[in-house]
Structure 1
Amino acid sequence: MPTIDDPTLVFEQERVRLVRLAYRMLGSIGEAEDVVQDAWLRWRRVDHAEVGSAGAFLSRTVTRLCLDVMKSARVRRETYFGTWLPEPVAMAPDEDPGDDLTLTLMLALERLSPLERAAFLLHDVFAVPLADVAVTLRREPPAVRQLAARARKHVQSARPRFPLEREEGTRIAKAFFEASATGDVAALRSMLADAVVVHSDGGGKVHAFPRPIVGIDKVTRMFEGAARKSWIQHAQKLQDLWIDGLPGYVSLEPGGMLQTVALDVQAGLIVGIYFTRNPDKLQRMAMRFGGMPGAPVSH
Structure 2
Amino acid sequence: MIEQDWVSERFAEHQDRLHAVAYRMLGSTGEAEDAVQEAWLRVSRADTGQVENPGGWLTTVVARVCLNMLEARRTRREESAGALPPEPAASHESIHPTSKAGPEDEALLADSVGVALMVVLDTLTPAERLAFVLHDVFAVSFGEIGAIINRSPAAARQLASRARRRVQGAAGASDAARSAKREIVDAFLAAARGGDFAALLELLDPDAVVGEIRGGDAVAAFFAGRAQAARLALVDGVPAAVWSHLGRPKAVFTFTVNDDKITRIDIDTDPRRLRDLDIVILTAGAKERR
Output the TM-score relative to the length of structure 2: 0.55
In structure 1, how many angstroms separate the alpha carbons of the residues matched to 2:56 and 2:137? 15
Q: Any unmatched runs of 5+ in structure 2?
A: 82-106, 224-229, 244-250, 267-271, 277-290
Counterpart in 2 of 1:125? 137
- Provide closer, same or farther for how the CA distance between residues 8 and 151 of structure 1 changes in structure 2, counting only shifts above 3 A: same
Name the CA shift for 1:188/1:287 in 2 (closer, same or farther; >3 Å). Answer: same
Q: Which one-letter code corresponds to 1:137 in the other structure?
A: I
User: Is 1:112 the counterpart of 2:95 in the alignment?
Assistant: no
Counterpart position of 2:209:
226
Q: Separation in 2 of the partners of 1:128 and 1:139?
A: 15
1:137 maps to 149
Distance 1:186 1:48, change over 3 A: farther
Aligned partner of residue 159 in structure 1, secondary structure: helix
| 1:4-28 per-position Cα deviation (integer Å, ceiling 9, x unaligned) | 9633232122222211211122111
**Residue identity (%):** 36
Q: Match of 1:40, as an amino acid? A: W
Who is 2:27 aligned against? 27
Do structure 1's residue 149 and structure 2's residue 133 form an aligned pair? no
Q: Specify the structure having the higher radius of gyration (Cα).
A: 2
Q: Deviations over 1:208-253 (max 9, x none)?
A: xxxxxxxxxxxx427x42144279979xx9xx6642x5555799xx
Letter of the 1:136 partner, please give it.
I
2:70–2:126 contact (8 Å) kept in structure 1: yes
Deviations along 1:25-52, whole A, 9 cap, x unmatched? 2111100111011111212122222212
Residue ranges of structure 1 left out of the alignment (5+ in a row): 81-97, 191-219, 252-257, 265-269, 278-284, 290-299
1:156 deviation in Å?
Answer: 1.8
Q: Is the 8 A contact 2:19 2:33 kept in 1?
A: yes
Structure 1 contact 120–147 (Cα < 8 Å) conserved: yes
Cα distance change of structure 1 residues 231 and 188 upon mapping to structure 2, 3 Å threshold:
closer
Q: What TM-score do the two structures reach when normalised by structure 1?
A: 0.54
Amino acid at match of 2:162: R
Where is the helix percentage greater, Structure 1 or Structure 2? 2
Aligned length in residues: 217
* Contact 2:188–2:200 (CA under 8 A) maintained in structure 1: no
Deviations 1:123-157 (A, max 9, x none): 11111111111112111111111111111122221
Cα RMSD for the two superposed structures = 5.1
What is the alpha-carbon distance in structure 2 between the residues aligned to residue 100 and residue 150 of structure 1?
Answer: 15
Contact 1:4–1:48 (CA under 8 A) maintained in structure 2: no
Which whole-Å CA distance do the structure 2 matches of 1:59 and 1:260 have between them? 39
